[in-house]
Chain A
C-alpha cells in the first residue's frame, strides 16, 4: 500500500515555540503539499514543492516555512507558533503534473496554547 506518513498525530505546543511537522511518502512522488484544515473552511494550501530543494507559496504561507532536502520528505516549520495556528495539518503527495490524484497523510492536530 502506498503511504504518506506524518510523524505526529497530536501535538501540543506553547506560543512562541518553533514547531516541526514532518511528512514522508514512499511513492517516489515529485509533488508534495502542506494544507491546513479548519471547520467550514475546507483545505487551504500553505506551501508546496515540485522537486527537491524547491518550494512555492500557497494561499496562506504567512507564519510558515518548509524544507525539502530529500524527495521523500517534506517538512513544515512554524517559526514562532501562535494560537491562530491551532489546526489540523495535512500533508499530501502526487505524481506527474496534471489531473494527479492527491494521496494524503492522516493529519497532525496541532494545538498552540
Chain B
C-alpha cells in the first residue's frame, strides 16, 4: 500500500494560535480530500482539491495542494475549541497499480484549549 504520511500525529494548542497539518507522499494524486472527525461520529468532508497549486479557504481553514500533487497542507488561523477533532487527509491515486484508489493518512488529533 502506498502511504500518505500525515504530521504531526498530535497537536495541543491554546485558543487563538495558528497551526498547520501536513500530508506528504511520493505518489501523485488526482485529488486530495480533507476530512474532520469528531468523537463518536464518522469523518465529514471539509474540502477537495484537484489542481496542483490550488488553494481553498473555508472560513479560518486554508487548504493547499502541492504543485506536483504529491502533498497538501491544512492551515488553521486563530484556532478555537470548536476546531478540536481528528483531521484526516485522503489522496486519490492518479496512476500505477493504485489508480483511482483513495488512501488515508494516519490522522492528526487536534486539541484546542480555551
Contacts and interface: CB of A to CB of B under 8 A. Distances in A.
A83 to B, nearest CB: 22
Interface in A56-113: 59, 90, 92, 97, 99, 101-102, 104-107
B30 A107 contact: no
Contact of A106 (B35, B40, B90, B107): B40
B114 to A, nearest CB: 25
Interface size class of B (residues with CB under 8 A): 20 to 34
Interface in B61-114: 88, 90, 92, 100-102, 104-107
Given A4-B42, A92-B42, A101-B45, A42 B30 contact: no
Contacts of A41: 106
B5 to A, nearest CB: 10
Contacts of A97: 100
Interface centre among B40, B90, B101, B104 (most CB of A within 10 A): B104
Interface size class of A (residues with CB under 8 A): 10 to 19
B6 A101 contact: no
Nearest to A35: B104
A106 B42 contact: yes
A41 B86 CA distance: 12
A102 B44 CA distance: 8
22 contacts: A40-B9, A40-B107, A41-B106, A42-B4, A43-B88, A43-B104, A44-B104, A45-B102, A90-B42, A92-B42, A99-B31, A99-B33, A99-B92, A101-B45, A102-B90, A104-B42, A104-B43, A105-B42, A106-B40, A106-B41, A106-B42, A107-B41
Interface of A: 4, 35, 40-45, 59, 90, 92, 97, 99, 101-102, 104-107
